[in-house]
Amino acid sequence: MMSTGKEVKQLAKQKENTERLNIFLSPQIVEKLKSLASERGMTVSGLVRLIILEYLKK
């Protein structure tokens, strides 16, 4: 289950003690991520970070 509201913004903005990671995605996936991020008022980086953190909570 995805986090919402205040928790989303907090998770998306956690940048202390982070490392950069480069990944390659198809243009279709990038466009979908951009769309989802825009709907949530987030950056693509913040959305990807949130998705990964939510996945790792399982």
The contacts of residue 13 (CB under 8 Å, 6+ apart) are 46
Which has the higher per-residue pLDDT, 8 or 58? Answer: 58
Q: Give the model's pLDDT for residue 12.
A: 55
Does the pLDDT at position 1 exceed 50?
Answer: no
pLDDT of residue 18: 81
- In tens, the pLDDT along 14-43 reads 667 788 899 999 999 999 999 999 999 999
Note the pLDDT of residue 58.
Answer: 83
Helix axes 5-13, 44-57, angle to 10 degrees: 110
